[in-house]
Amino acid sequence: MKVQFIKDESTKTVAVEVNGEKYGELIFDTDQDAWVLWPDQIDDGVTYFDDLKETEDQIKFELEHADD
């Protein structure tokens, strides 16, 4: 499984792709002071950390181990 994070500096968002297909989008929520993942498949966000690298590492770990 290949997980990629593509930063868009103009919108301050990060697209999340799994195996070349769009999985969702990371948006920084200033109210929560944390990055929130908005998966395309569900209409709800998942809140992570204020640090983008830590958030990316956690999402990658969760996606790669989802089938375990």
Give residue-wise pLDDT tens across range 41-64. 998 999 999 999 999 999 999 999
Model confidence at 37, in pLDDT bands (50, 70, 90)? very high
Burial classification of residue 19, based on how many CB atoms lie within 10 Å of its CB (0-12 exposed, 13-18 middle, 19 or more buried): exposed
Residue 11 has pLDDT above 90, yes or no: no
If you search the block for the tokens 């070349």, which residue do you land on? Answer: 20
Collect all residues with Cβ–Cβ distance below 8 Å to 31 and sequence separation of at least 6.
none
Dig out the tokens for 43 from the structure: 């209409």
Structural domains counted in the chain:
1
> What pLDDT sits at residue 68?
64
Strand ranges in 1-68 using DSSP code E only, listed in sequence order:
3-8, 13-18, 21-29, 34-39, 46-47
Model confidence at 66, in pLDDT bands (50, 70, 90)? confident
Dig out the tokens for 26 from the structure: 């990371």
Give the structural domain span for 17: 3-64
> What pLDDT sits at residue 62?
95
Residue 67 has pLDDT above 80, yes or no: no
